[in-house]
């Protein structure tokens, strides 16, 4: 078990970013005996048990109190390749949805599978969606999944292909909305546009690796990787376009050259709610609802891959106003975040030889 000091770094939205430091109180960061390697997604089965994925293909049934760990057998044909592999997981009862990268003709794409959890096995597995086209790139699979009402919302990265995210005849670089069985809803916003993929709900994203339902607005929010700068948080809104790769939300290409005309935003595109320049490598996100940290109620927990921190984006009138870094360099690249019934924060890191961590007051 580790005891960490709580440091506050407040970051104001663009164009002005300030860093303020102050020692405040102590929190407990518990490193559990649950052993993980490049863990990616988590989903609760009940108050104490959860399913956890690893990029290399394993799914574990983990008890967060007793610290037991059982591997779940499955035949989901994901392939670990670059940033791909077995990625996110979500469930309703024993119905489980998993996202990951699959291969066809030496090319790869993001796919969604539906299975049933029976004992320690996933059975009746079926492919319910594959993003088209398949691309040879090892980058930007996106691949978070969230449930809202009767729908699945799933993020599809643009695979490093840039302006393909503005081409609505494919689903690369988008947020899609499906029924839970994979069928396409009749009221999706682009349903009537000739040639457009009917599963599209929002376009113009680069690599959205975080997704969370806001309990206040009942909107799904994403985190999205910019290039060199331009990571952001923003809502999923029907028929909207975040603009990649015409704009880069304040970022530039890795070479330092401009993206598009170099504008952080242009008319006709949706403005993100919070932007980081430089990039933090924004990963998993989770709106906080619980009793353990009352000051964070309704705020957004954010994991940084690049700077290896957990932070809280505080809100006022549902607007993000400042970022408070809770800890840094304690567990590595913070990949995903969940909250237990006590309001304690469950964390996994995209690191080898890692663990499941629990943050407590």
Strand bridging mode 200-203 / 240-241 = parallel
3-state secondary structure of 183: coil
Q: What is the DSSP string of 85-118?
A: SEEEEEEETTEEEEEEEEEETTEEEEEEEEEEEE
Residue 133, preceding peptide bond in cis (omega within 30° of 0): yes
Residue 21: predicted pLDDT: 33
3-state secondary structure of 36: strand
Order of strands, sheet of 231-235, starting from the edge strand that comes earlier in the sequence: 210-213, 220-224, 231-235, 274-276
For residue 282, what are the β-bridge partners?
304
Closest CA to 111 of 77, 138, 137: 77
Angstrom distance (rounded) from CA 319 to CA 214: 12
What pTM was estimated for this model as a whole? Answer: 0.93
- Backbone φ and ψ for 12, nearest 5 degrees, come out as -90, 150
Helix (H) or strand (E) holding 326: strand 319-328
Q: How many CB atoms lie within 10 A of CB 43?
A: 21
pLDDT on residue 236 = 98
Per-residue pLDDT of the chain (361 residues; tens, 9 = 90+): 555 545 444 444 443 232 323 234 689 999 999 999 999 999 999 999 999 999 999 999 999 999 999 999 999 999 999 999 999 999 999 999 999 999 999 999 999 999 999 999 999 999 999 999 999 999 999 999 999 999 999 999 999 999 999 999 999 999 999 999 999 999 999 988 889 999 999 999 999 999 999 999 999 999 999 999 999 999 999 999 999 999 999 999 999 999 999 999 999 999 999 999 999 999 999 999 999 999 999 999 999 999 999 999 999 988 999 999 999 999 999 999 999 999 999 999 999 999 999 999 9
């Amino acid at each position: 078990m580790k005891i960490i000091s709580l440091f506050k770094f407040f970051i104001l939205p663009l164009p002005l970013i300030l860093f303020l430091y102050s020692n405040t109180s102590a929190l407990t960061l518990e490193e559990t005996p649950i052993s993980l390697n490049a863990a990616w997604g988590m989903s609760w089965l009940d108050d104490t048990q959860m399913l956890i994925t690893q990029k290399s293909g394993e799914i574990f049934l983990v008890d967060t109190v007793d610290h037991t760990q059982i591997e779940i057998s499955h035949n989901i044909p994901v392939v670990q390749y670059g940033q791909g592999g077995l990625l996110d997981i979500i469930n309703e009862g024993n119905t489980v949805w998993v996202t990951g990268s699959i291969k066809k003709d030496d090319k790869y794409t993001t796919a969604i599978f539906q299975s049933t959890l029976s004992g320690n096995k996933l059975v009746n597995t079926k492919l319910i969606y594959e993003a088209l086209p398949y691309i040879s790139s090892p980058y930007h699979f996106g691949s978070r999944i969230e449930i809202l009402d009767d729908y699945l919302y799933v993020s599809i990265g643009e695979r490093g292909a840039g302006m393909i995210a503005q081409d609505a005849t494919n689903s690369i670089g988008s947020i899609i909305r499906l029924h839970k069985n994979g069928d396409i809803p009749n009221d999706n916003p682009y349903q009537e546009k000739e040639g457009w993929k009917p599963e599209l709900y929002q376009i113009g994203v680069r690599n959205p690796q975080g997704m969370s339902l806001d309990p206040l607005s009942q909107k799904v929010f994403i985190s999205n990787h910019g290039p060199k700068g331009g990571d952001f948080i923003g809502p999923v809104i029907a028929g909207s376009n975040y603009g990649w790769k015409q704009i880069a939300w304040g970022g530039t290409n890795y070479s330092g050259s401009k993206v598009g005309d170099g504008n952080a935003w242009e008319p006709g595109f949706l403005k993100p709610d919070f932007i980081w320049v430089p990039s933090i490598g924004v990963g998993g996100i989770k709106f906080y609802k619980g009793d353990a940290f009352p000051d964070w109620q309704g705020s957004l927990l954010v994991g940084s891959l690049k700077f290896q921190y957990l932070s809280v984006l505080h809100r006022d009138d549902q607007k993000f106003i400042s970022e408070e870094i809770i800890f840094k360099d304690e567990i590595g690249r913070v990949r995903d975040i969940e909250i237990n019934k006590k309001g304690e924060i469950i964390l996994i890191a995209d690191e080898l030889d890692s663990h499941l961590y629990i943050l407590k007051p």
